[in-house]
Chains A and B, each alone.
Chain A
Amino acid sequence: ETGVTQSPTHLIKTRGQQVTLRCSSQSGHNTVSWYQQALGQGPQFIFQYYREEENGRGNFPPRFSGLQFPNYSSELNVNALELDDSALYLCASSRAGGPDEQFFGPGTRLTVL
């Protein structure tokens, strides 16, 4: 069983740019949740996609957007990058919409200069 994978591993962008992060869910999972983890903090929920539809959203501005594809992989897009967007971005996959049994990928480290 293949686990959750994310790409790229690391990314450096400058303020104002746009970025796309990618996540492949674990086999048999139809839900992907995205989290932002600042240094020394717990992950913060951005949004969840269940069967290609947004299924819940945390307290993040509209410049954070996402997609889920028919194979249940997902993208996180962030526009107009700000310095505070520097963080580890984690995706987690699960079998059904909701919080249960979320399995995380290794994350993408985004640095905004």
Chain B
Amino acid sequence: GENVEQHPSTLSVQEGDSAVIKCTYSDSASNYFPWYKQELGKGPQLIIDIRSNVGEKKDQRIAVTLNKTAKHFSLHITETQPEDSAVYFCASEGQAGTALIFGKGTTLSVSS
């Protein structure tokens, strides 16, 4: 079935360092790849997304890259801050274009 693998499951960095989270998806028909940030006790917040006609997208300190051939996409956070600490989820389009299929999440801890 449709599947999204996400690595690493936990990531600890020092404030100011960069963080990279990687995902692999199985459905070659997927064209939409969002990233969500979930803080404790809250719902997931959409932070950036990318579509299959684009290889890279940036928004301030956050960037996402997509390699459709390899079915990989990654989230890059530069100059990390303590408020970046949260669980990050990648997702891909699934269920014949209606649903999001989520990875298992990466817990990012940024220490000052």
Identify the A interface with B (CB < 8 A).
4, 33, 35, 40-45, 48, 55-59, 90, 97-107
B interface size (C-beta, 8 A): 28
B: residues with CB less than 8 A from A are 1, 4, 6, 32, 34, 36, 41-46, 49, 89, 91, 93-105
Q: Are B46 and A101 in contact (CB under 8 A)?
A: yes
Q: Which of A42, A90, A99, A107 interacts with B99 by CB under 8 Å?
A: A99
Residue in A closest to B104 when the chains form the complex, CB atoms: A42
User: Does the CB pair A101–B98 fall under 8 Å?
Assistant: no
Determine whether the beta carbon of B46 is less than 8 Å from that of A102: yes
Closest to B99 in A: A45
Residues of A with C-beta under 8 A to B46: 101-104
Specify which of A99, A101, A104, A106 is in contact with B97 (CB 8 Å cutoff).
A99
Residue contact A45 to B89, C-beta cutoff 8 Å? no
A36 to chain B minimum Cβ distance, whole angstroms, is 11
Cα distance A97–B99 in the bound complex, in angstroms: 9
- Enumerate the 9 nearest inter-chain pairs by beta-carbon distance, A residue then B residue, closest first: A56-B98, A42-B102, A104-B43, A45-B99, A99-B93, A106-B43, A104-B44, A48-B98, A99-B100
| Contact residues in B for A42 (Cβ distance below 8 Å) | 4, 6, 89, 91, 102-105
